[in-house]
Amino acid sequence: RKEVEQDPGPFNVPEGATVAFNCTYSNSASQSFFWYRQDCRKEPKLLMSVYSSGNEDGRFTAQLNRASQYISLLIRDSKLSDSATYLCVVNIPYDKVIFGPGTSLSVIP
C-alpha cells in the first residue's frame, strides 16, 4: 500500500457544485496533514492545514478521520478558478512529508 493515496480523477463538475476529495494514509503515527493546490505547470501552494477538529476556510472544509486514516477536502459552490490539482500531504515521523499524487479538478461553465 502506498503511503499516501488519492483518487487521481479527473473530477469534472459544473460551476456551483459541491465536490469532495479523499486522501488515505498508511502511517498511523502521522500527525500533520495539509492540502496543497497546484495549477497547471505551476508550483504547489498551501491551500490549508487540516486540524483534528476539522477546519473551514470560506468555501473549503478540511476534515481528518484518524480511525480510518483519511483526510478530506470539501469545496462548496465551485468556481472556474478552482480548477487545479489538489495534493494531499501527510507527515511521516520523523520530520518528513509525503505528497500524494494529486486529484485533478475541472470546473465546467
Partner 1 sequence: DAGITQSPRYKITETGRQVTLMCHQTWSHSYMFWYRQDLGHGLRLIYYSAAADITDKGEVPDGYVVSRSKTENFPLTLESATRSQTSVYFCASSDSLAPSTDTQYFGPGTRLTVL
- Backbone phi, then psi, for 80, in 5-degree steps? -55, -35
| Residue 18 per-residue DSSP state | -
Binding to partner 1, residues 63-102 (CB under 8 A):
87, 91-92, 94-97, 99-102
Query: Closest separation between CB of residue 69 and partner 1, Å?
Result: 17
Q: From 11-19, 42-50, 53-61, 64-72, give the range in contact with partner 1 by CB under 8 A.
A: 42-50
CB of 3 to partner 1, least distance (A): 10
- What value does the CA radius of gyration of the chain take, rounded to a whole number of Å? 13
Q: Determine if the peptide bond prior to 51 is cis (ω within 30°).
A: no
26 secondary structure, DSSP code: S
Site for partner 1, rule CB under 8 A: 4, 31-32, 34, 41-46, 49, 87, 91-92, 94-97, 99-102
